[in-house]
């Protein structure tokens, strides 16, 4: 039984069809990448899986349970966490408090939440920033905090929405090893959507490619990028013609 | 057990704060023993009452960021329940207060469910609407005395009466409200460290994020609103026994709702000390302004003009309140600036 | 039957005037997403302006409209540059409390300067006259004139918003402030203008209202709440919405008349007991609550 099973998901916004009949699955322990050009519908799909939007049709199963109609916080409680891209001016909570919010999902005790949070922050390498506000730390650290918070909910799977956005090459390097660590040591399955190809290629066991709302390819990263349709989707028809003429 | 320990644990505040708070606490406990005017005593009682109102508001309004401008209706429910039960059926405070509490909290759940589907300004205005509706109802409801209100005449009872909370000297009232004040304070100390407290702060920060962490936002807000209501209702019941003369215009007006919110904001919404600081400033200010300026012939309204100017200044320039300023300074100092 | 019709017509007429009050609020809200608690106070000031102009100059109160509108415009600008501008930077609680402070300030200033007694207009071309419109419906001339002028004012503002450059600039800022800024429209000036326009419409409505409604320093809050309800019903930001919603809410305030006529027609005893008149405004508040819970977008609104 797959950990996550997406079947025939279609999502309409009024007249616009953002996702059309998308199906794929994610096995436990895998890292799967969801890629595609801008506007392909990746974030929409994410939001549907996480329960943030209701789907227009189709079904989603998590651990064999039908979660299609569940609300986002109910899905989070089942062990499917997600991260958000937006970093607002989080005035109030410092880093430790942020992580504790996550920890409080599984425990009502402040002491336990505190302990759990400290452990996770150590794991993520951010204990030094415990008392800083989000606005006081660099972007790369903010991402670690968001990841730590999601981890604190003790999820079985995390949906990562463009987690590498805005990072420089060495930070991306760090993120890659961190995500590997999370996957292997904490046994968390990851589904990530990304524009930063390097991250997806090196981390993912499999990738799923979306274009204009549909799934156009799926498989091993190295093979998928050679797929004609994928090249056409990203780089356009003329580039495809040129490359095939060169051969 | 852990909860009790958390309630009394102030160790996350710097030594300076704890010492200062300790001194203030001593002052509050010992105040009646020093020579004081009856005006000062009345002001102190008001200060304590409004501190508790403010602390209650602070849960949903400060930590939760949901600006509730309709708390006065619960003052009314608490006050009227106690008053009516005493006048008609001679039921003592210690029974009527919990009953009023039950009614208030019940009502808060009923309107809370639809109320919290709204956000921002719409929510705020809706809270005003509900409070005004209730006030209007009380103003024509003969059972509770309509617009003239109810009066508890102390002559009927023999003070000091600890069951019905009827006393001749203010000092009894003072210590009772002081007790309520401390209970409220310790509860808030627990609250800000509790799961619900953290959930609210996360909600205030970003609701979508909060939900992605498994928080049932709607329900958390409703629960907290009920907590805030509880604080207000208890003091409302006290209010009835202390003032002994209640009418809708005094107890349930929009002005009271706003004053409560204002206090917490001035002192620092979302902080433990905020509402107390706010009350410590606004209540004496309001009282003394009224004493000196309000009553002077031909100058009706000047006290409120000054008062409202202060509101505007604070709102425009320091919305994080006094405690916000304190924290800002401390942060800067810590970073070595 | 006549009572029913009279009540309905009265409500509609009142509604047209109320719609103007709401109009100002919806403009401010549309342009800068800010709620002005002091809105009703502008109306109150407009009422006094209308009253005093009539008394001092001896002109008919209906001619005081431009004066009132002018005062309102200036007052709006003043409040923007003096307060609202700063409130915009802060959190919402600050905005709400800040404009609430403004409300208290204006109300007590009026109390200080004008005293607390009710005042009404007693002289004028139309005062005391009424038209009979058939079916036993009697319309006070003042109400009728006020309603007509309200409609004219409404159309005028609608034209300004949609046909003039400034109006379009305002609408643009309302829809997307940043985008408008890139087009060269100065948000700051648009905000101030919104407040000026908001103030002017409110005082204008006040000057109209005072012809058949007496004024004292405390009427502000009631009208603020009525305005909020209208704006919520019509949809925050919608000009035509404000008009139709105004009519509806105006009719709601005449509900006691409808209630009475139904009680009388159907001879229902218990209905007689209910003091509906005291409930007039409660119904308005209740309406706000129900609208927001059941249909937050209102009838025509595009902002939620």
Give chain A's domains with CATH numbers. Answer: 1-79+157-171+182-247 (3.40.50.300), 85-154 (no CATH)
Using a CB-CB distance cutoff of 8 angstroms, which residues of chain B are in contact with residue A86?
Answer: 206
Could you tell me what percent of chain A has a pLDDT over 90? Answer: 51
Residues of A with CB under 8 A from a CB of B: 50, 52, 71-73, 76-77, 81-84, 86, 88, 90-93, 97-98, 100-102, 104-105, 107-111, 113, 133, 136, 149-150, 153
- Which chains would you list as touching B if contact means 3+ CB atom pairs under 8 Å? A, C
Least confident of B63-67, B294-298, C89-93, C166-170: B294-298
Do residue B305 and residue C108 have CB atoms under 8 angstroms apart? yes
What are the residues whose beta carbons fall under 8 Å from the beta carbon of C21, sequence distance 6 or more? C39, C40, C43, C201, C202, C205, C223, C226, C227, C230, C246
B302 band by pLDDT with thresholds 50, 70 and 90: confident
Which pLDDT value is given to residue C61? 65
Classified as helix, coil or strand, A6 is strand
Which pLDDT value is given to residue C292? 78
Of the partner residues B117, B125, B319, the one whose CB lies closest to the CB of residue C93: B319
| CA distance linking residue C248 with residue B180, whole number of Å | 47
| CA distance linking residue C304 with residue C296, whole number of Å | 7
User: Residue B109 sits in which domain range?
Assistant: 2-334
User: What CATH code is carried by the domain that includes residue B301?
Assistant: 1.10.3470
Of the partner residues C97, C221, C228, the one whose CB lies closest to the CB of residue B254: C221
- Give me the mean pLDDT over the B297-301 stretch: 61
Of the partner residues C94, C278, C293, the one whose CB lies closest to the CB of residue B114: C293
Which pLDDT value is given to residue A247? 46
DSSP line for A121-149: HHHHT-GGGTTSBGGGS-HHHHHHHHHHH
C189 band by pLDDT with thresholds 50, 70 and 90: confident
| CA distance linking residue B177 with residue B180, whole number of Å | 5
pLDDT at C302 over 60: no
Average pLDDT over chain C, rounded to whole?
Answer: 79
- Dihedral of CA atoms B17, B19, B23, B28 in degrees, nearest 10, equals 50
Contact B56, B228 (CB under 8 A): yes
* Whether pTM exceeds 0.90: no
- Give me the mean pLDDT over the A131-144 stretch: 87
Average pLDDT over chain B, rounded to whole?
Answer: 88
Tokens of B96: 């009527």
Residue ranges of domains in chain C: 2-117+125-218
Per the structure, the count of domains in chain B is 1
Cβ atoms < 10 Å from Cβ of C82: 12
- Give me the mean pLDDT over the B70-74 stretch: 95
- Give me the mean pLDDT over the C129-147 stretch: 70
Distances (CA, A) of A55 to A162, A200, C259: 21, 26, 47
C304 band by pLDDT with thresholds 50, 70 and 90: very low
| CA distance linking residue B302 with residue B295, whole number of Å | 10
Using a CB-CB distance cutoff of 8 angstroms, which residues of chain B are in contact with residue C286?
Answer: 129, 133
Q: How many CB pairs under 8 A join B and C?
A: 130
ipTM: 0.89
pLDDT at A107 over 80: yes
Which parts of A137-187 fold into alpha helices (H)? 139-152, 169-185
Tokens of B335: 């970073």
Do residue B195 and residue A104 have CB atoms under 8 angstroms apart? yes
- Give me the mean pLDDT over the B319-335 stretch: 85
Kindly identify which residue of chain A lies nearest to residue B217, measuring between CA atoms: A73
Do residue C94 and residue B316 have CB atoms under 8 angstroms apart? yes
B321 band by pLDDT with thresholds 50, 70 and 90: confident
Tokens of A41: 């519908």
pLDDT at B62 over 60: yes
Residue C295: how many CA atoms within 13 Å on its side-chain side?
A: 13
Using a CB-CB distance cutoff of 8 angstroms, which residues of chain C are in contact with residue B300?
Answer: 111-112, 116
Distances (CA, A) of C35 to A37, A217, B122, C231, C259: 41, 51, 9, 11, 33
- Residues 210-229, chain B, touching A (beta carbon < 8 A): 210-217
**A32-75 tens-digit pLDDT:** 999 888 888 888 999 999 999 999 999 999 999 999 999 999 99
Choose, out of C78, C100, C277, the residue to mutate when testing the contact with B (most B CBs < 10 Å). C100
Of the partner residues A83, A102, A110, the one whose CB lies closest to the CB of residue B6: A110
pLDDT at B217 over 60: yes
- Dihedral of CA atoms C221, C224, C229, C230 in degrees, nearest 10, equals 140
Which residue did the predictor score with more confidence, B184 or A200? B184
Could you tell me what percent of chain B has a pLDDT over 90? Answer: 46
pLDDT at B243 over 80: yes
| CA distance linking residue B325 with residue B328, whole number of Å | 5
Which pLDDT value is given to residue C111? 87
Could you tell me what percent of chain C has a pLDDT over 70? Answer: 81
- Give me the mean pLDDT over the B182-195 stretch: 94
Contact B121, C96 (CB under 8 A): yes
| CA distance linking residue A233 with residue B334, whole number of Å | 52
What are the residues whose beta carbons fall under 8 Å from the beta carbon of C290, sequence distance 6 or more? none
Do residue C98 and residue B311 have CB atoms under 8 angstroms apart? yes
């Amino acid at each position: 039984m797959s950990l996550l099973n997406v079947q025939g998901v279609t999502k309409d916004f009024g007249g616009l069809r953002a996702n059309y009949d998308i199906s794929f699955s994610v096995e436990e322990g895998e890292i799967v990448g969801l890629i595609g050009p801008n506007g392909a519908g990746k974030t929409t799909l994410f939001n549907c899986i996480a329960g943030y939007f209701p789907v227009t049709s189709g079904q989603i199963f998590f651990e064999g349970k039908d979660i299609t109609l569940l609300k986002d916080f109910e899905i989070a409680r089942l062990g499917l966490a997600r991260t958000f891209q937006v970093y607002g001016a989080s005035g109030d909570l410092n880093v430790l408090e942020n992580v504790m919010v996550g920890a409080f999902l599984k425990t009502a005790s402040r002491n336990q939440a505190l302990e759990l949070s400290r452990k996770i922050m150590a794991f993520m390498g951010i204990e030094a920033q415990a008392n800083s506000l989000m606005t006081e730390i660099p972007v790369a650290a903010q991402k670690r905090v968001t990841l730590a918070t999601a981890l604190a909910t003790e999820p079985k799977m995390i949906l990562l929405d463009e987690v590498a956005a805005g990072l420089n090459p060495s930070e991306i390097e760090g993120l890659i090893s961190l995500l590997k660590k999370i996957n292997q040591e904490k046994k968390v399955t990851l589904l990530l959507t990304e524009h930063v190809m390097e991250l997806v290629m090196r981390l993912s066991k499999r990738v799923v490619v979306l274009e204009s709302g549909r799934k156009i390819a799926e498989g091993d990263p190295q093979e998928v990028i050679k797929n004609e349709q994928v090249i056409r989707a990203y780089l356009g028809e003329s580039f495809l013609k040129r490359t095939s003429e060169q051969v | 057990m852990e909860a009790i320990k958390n309630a009394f644990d102030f160790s996350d505040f710097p030594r300076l704060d704890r010492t200062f708070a300790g001194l203030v606490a001593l002052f509050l406990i010992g105040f009646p023993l020093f020579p004081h005017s009856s005006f000062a005593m009345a002001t102190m009682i008001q200060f304590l009452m409004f501190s508790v109102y403010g602390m209650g508001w602070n849960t949903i309004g400060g930590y939760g960021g949901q600006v509730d401008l309709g708390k006065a209706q619960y003052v009314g429910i608490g006050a009227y329940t106690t008053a009516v039960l005493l006048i008609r059926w001679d039921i003592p405070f210690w029974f009527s207060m919990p009953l009023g509490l039950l009614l208030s909290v019940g009502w808060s759940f009923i309107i809370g469910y639809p109320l919290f589907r709204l956000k921002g300004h719409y929510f705020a205005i809706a809270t005003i609407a509900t409070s005004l509706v209730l006030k209007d109802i009380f103003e024509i409801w003969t059972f509770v005395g309509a617009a003239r209100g109810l009066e508890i005449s102390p002559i009927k009872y023999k003070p000091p009466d600890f069951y019905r909370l009827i006393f001749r000297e203010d000092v009894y009232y003072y210590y009772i409200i002081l007790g309520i004040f401390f209970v409220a304070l310790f509860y808030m100390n627990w609250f800000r460290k509790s799961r619900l407290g953290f959930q609210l702060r996360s909600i205030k920060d970003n609701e979508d994020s909060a939900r992605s962490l498994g928080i049932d936002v709607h329900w958390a807000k409703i629960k907290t609103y009920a907590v805030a209501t509880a604080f207000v209702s208890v003091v409302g019941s006290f209010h009835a026994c202390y003032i002994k003369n209640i009418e809708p215009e005094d107890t349930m007006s929009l002005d009271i709702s706003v004053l409560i919110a204002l206090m917490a904001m001035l002192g620092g919404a979302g902080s433990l000390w905020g509402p107390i600081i706010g009350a410590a400033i606004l209540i004496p200010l309001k009282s003394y302004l009224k004493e000196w300026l309000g009553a002077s012939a031909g100058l009706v309204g000047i006290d409120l003009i000054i008062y409202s100017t202060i509101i505007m200044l604070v709102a425009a320039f320091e919305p994080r309140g006094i405690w916000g300023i304190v924290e800002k300074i401390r942060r800067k100092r810590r970073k070595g600036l | 039957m006549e009572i029913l019709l009279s009540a309905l017509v009265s409500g509609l007429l009142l509604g047209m005037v109320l719609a103007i009050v709401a109009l100002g609020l919806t403009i401010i809200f549309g342009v800068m997403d800010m709620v002005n608690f002091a809105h009703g106070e502008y109306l109150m000031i407009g009422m006094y302006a209308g009253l005093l102009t009539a008394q001092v100059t001896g002109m008919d109160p209906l001619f005081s409209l431009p004066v009132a509108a002018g005062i309102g415009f200036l007052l709006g600008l003043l409040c923007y540059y003096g307060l609202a501008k700063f409130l915009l930077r802060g959190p919402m609680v600050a905005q709400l409390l800040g404009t609430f402070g403004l409300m208290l300030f204006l109300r007590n200033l009026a109390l200080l300067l004008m005293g607390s007694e009710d005042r009404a207009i007693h002289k004028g071309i139309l005062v005391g006259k009424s038209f009979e419109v058939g079916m036993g419906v009697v319309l006070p001339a003042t109400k009728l004139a006020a309603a007509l002028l309200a409609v004219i004012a409404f159309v005028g503002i609608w034209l300004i918003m949609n046909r003039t450059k400034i109006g379009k600039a305002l609408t643009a800022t309302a829809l997307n402030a940043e985008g408008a800024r890139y087009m060269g429209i100065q948000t700051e000036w648009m905000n101030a203008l919104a407040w000026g326009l908001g103030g002017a419409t409110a005082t204008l409505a006040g000057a109209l209202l005072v012809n058949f409604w007496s004024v004292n320093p405390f009427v502000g809050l009631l009208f603020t709440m009525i305005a909020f309800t209208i704006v919520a019903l019509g949809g925050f930001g919608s000009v035509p919405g404000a008009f139709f919603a105004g009519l509806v809410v105006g009719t709601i305030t005449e509900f006691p008349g409808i209630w009475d006529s139904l009680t009388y027609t159907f001879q229902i005893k218990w209905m007689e007991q209910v003091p509906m008149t005291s409930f007039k405004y409660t119904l308005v508040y209740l309406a706000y609550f129900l609208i927001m819970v059941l249909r937050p977008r209102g009838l025509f609104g595009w902002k939620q």
